[in-house]
DNA sequence: CGGAAAGGTTAACCTTGTCAAATATTCAGG
DNA sequence: CCTGAATATTTGACAAGGTTAACCTTTCCG
């Protein structure tokens, strides 16, 4: 795939460590924001996926890189709380499309708005620096996605 | 806790989304790298903490922001596999210091080396850009930590 | 038509994580 | 020195997230 070249660049491991630390902060904030609404992180993630419209179980599993049977349980719990509904797909009677209810999408928006992670840390940066950061992250992400 | 100020800056939510995406990529890579060595993410995290030396249970829990009783189980499983040992603290007989064994630290180094996450995405950036990125991340992280 | 393939669920199982209670040790006053 | 409060760890009970294997139902295709 790619050569196991170790980096002559001492900067790379440093940046990796920073990313790791930031991932930790972000993850923690996300869990806390979800917990404040009595949601687990996984439930919040699924709810977040449905922001743009209904999605079949299978696709949820693929997007989150986990087994479909796992999604069954998470959706069960969301449904039990009235945040989500399973509806039959008119095209294919095997598939069930998951849709957020009113309550569900309200919860998602709230959670999203409260995700002030980078509203805090980003406050340390000027407008121009934020622009720089966005571009750098965007390029890394594009690169990462092309790898799949 | 802090005011519910909405940002006049349209860039902030954009950067937050990018961070979220990158966090997802990173997290997934980390889990996979750990799984490749038959470790769970949590086990890998604890093992990684011990890289710089022994650490009492309590401190591990604090660092990972979880209950001490949780660490008991994780260390149990690491110890059962010979990756880690509990040793008594000579200063205070209540505390147990967790130390990695030879095997354990070998595993950590391996895992760390294989964490090519940002070796890949970072390849998209030039040396100077990497430097920029490091500084931006560093400042965000400093800011985030001062918030606690 | 008949069998393979795909979507979803169920059941059994392990790990993470929480909380509450128990044990052992240390520490601070009186 | 003695007692009680505080600290470090463990245990047990429990919920959620995840995996695998087995099982329907429905669709697809030769």
The domain spans of chain A are 30-114, 123-147
Does CATH place domain A30-114 in 2.40.128.20? no
A143 and B120: CB-CB below 8 Å?
A: yes
Q: What is the pLDDT of residues B80-101, one digit of tens each?
A: 999 999 999 999 999 999 999 9
Backbone angles phi and psi of B86, in degrees to 5? -95, 125
Footprint of strand C on the protein (CB under 7 A): A 56-59, 68-69, 71-73, 75-76, 86, 92, 94-97; B 40-43, 64-67, 69-70, 73-74, 77, 92-94
**pTM for the full model?**
0.87
CA of A76 vs C1' of C2, distance in Å? 35
A147 and B12: CB-CB below 8 Å?
A: no
Q: What is the pLDDT of residues B46-67, one digit of tens each?
A: 999 999 999 999 999 999 999 9
Q: What is the pLDDT of residues A86-114, one digit of tens each?
A: 999 999 999 999 999 999 999 999 998 88
HEC secondary structure over chain B: CCCCCCCCCCHHHHHHHHHHHHHHHHHHHHHHHHHCCCCCHHHHHHHHHHHHCCEEHHHHHHHHCCCHHHHHHHHHHHHHCCCEEEEECCCCCCCEEEEECHHHHHHHHHHHHHCCHHHCHHHHCCHHHHHHHHHHHHHHHHHHHHCC
Residues 11-50 of B with CB under 8 A from A: 11-12, 14-16, 18-23, 25-28, 30
Q: Which nucleotide is nearest to B80 (CA to C1')?
A: C15
Backbone angles phi and psi of B68, in degrees to 5? -60, -35
Among the listed residues B16, B37, B31, B130, the one whose alpha carbon sits nearest the alpha carbon of residue A143: B130
CA of A21 vs C1' of D7, distance in Å? 29
CA of B46 vs C1' of C7, distance in Å? 38
């Amino acid at each position: 795939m790619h050569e196991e070249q170790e980096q002559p660049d001492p900067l790379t491991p440093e940046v990796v460590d920073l990313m790791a630390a930031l991932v930790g902060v972000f993850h923690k904030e996300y869990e806390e924001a979800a917990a404040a609404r009595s949601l687990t992180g996984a439930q919040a993630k699924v709810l977040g996926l449905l922001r743009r419209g209904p999605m079949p179980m299978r696709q949820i599993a693929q997007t989150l890189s986990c087994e479909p049977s796992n999604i069954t349980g998470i959706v069960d719990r969301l449904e039990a709380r009235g945040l989500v509904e399973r509806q039959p797909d008119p095209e294919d009677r095997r598939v069930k499309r998951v849709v957020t209810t009113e309550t569900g999408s309200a919860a998602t928006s709230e959670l999203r708005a409260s995700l002030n992670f980078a509203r805090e840390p980003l406050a340390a940066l000027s407008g121009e620096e934020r622009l720089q950061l966005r571009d750098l992250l965007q390029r890394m992400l594009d690169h990462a996605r092309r790898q799949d």
